[in-house]
Amino acid sequence: MCDAVIDGFALFLFSLAVHVIVWRVRRPESFRAWVPALAVIFGVVPAAIAWFVAPTPLDFAALLLLHGSLAVVYGIGYTLVSAFSPSVELLKLLDRAPDGVPMAALQLPFVAGGLTTERIENLAASGFVRQTGPRLDLCPRGMWLTRLVLIYRHAIGLPDSGGG
């Protein structure tokens, strides 16, 4: 088990080092460029290394489960690094005001900008929604995804029209 822990963390740190070097040399700007880049850096390369390092298929699985779970979390968490969370920026704003901020005066310039418009453009470009005249409608791909998320929300017990 100690080998799996040491090799798993070493593999993840190696992937992070490669990631930093690649990003420092030539950082992929768009979502469509950085997702495959991260998949190669955190998926393909470490899996090949693990195959040669692990003595048995079970050790390979143990190594890959540790590295893989850390890598997937990093991959999804990278969206937090590459984009800005309104909640975090709100807390940062309050952190800069030790005397507090009146609720009515709370403003986030980047939210007031075209954040929603930008998201709608992204969804339209990815084929999830379409604009028909002045109205916005779900495309089949969008329907499929919302159905899946609604099944999850209802299974947990979350009410409709919540969140956001």
Residues 50-79 that bind another protein (CB under 8 A): 58, 61-62, 65-66, 69-70, 72-73, 76-77
Q: How many residues bind another protein (CB under 8 A)?
A: 85
3-state DSSP assignment of residue 132: strand
Residue type, 13: L
Question: 1: which 2 tokens?
Answer: 């088990």
CB 108 within 8 A of CB 89: yes
Binding another protein by CB under 8 A: which of 10, 14, 18, 84?
Answer: 84
- At its nearest, how many Å lie between another protein and the CB of residue 35? 15
CB 65 within 8 A of CB 11: no
Binding another protein by CB under 8 A: which of 30, 103, 125, 140?
Answer: 103
Site for another protein in 114-143 (CB under 8 A): 115-117, 119-120, 122-123, 128-129, 131-132, 134-138, 142-143
For position 156 contacting another protein by CB under 8 A, the verdict is yes
- At its nearest, how many Å lie between another protein and the CB of residue 37? 12
- At its nearest, how many Å lie between another protein and the CB of residue 49? 19
Neighbour-count burial for 88-127, b at 16+ CB within 10 Å, e otherwise: eeeeeeeeeeeeeeeeeeeeeeeeeeeeeeeeeeebeeee
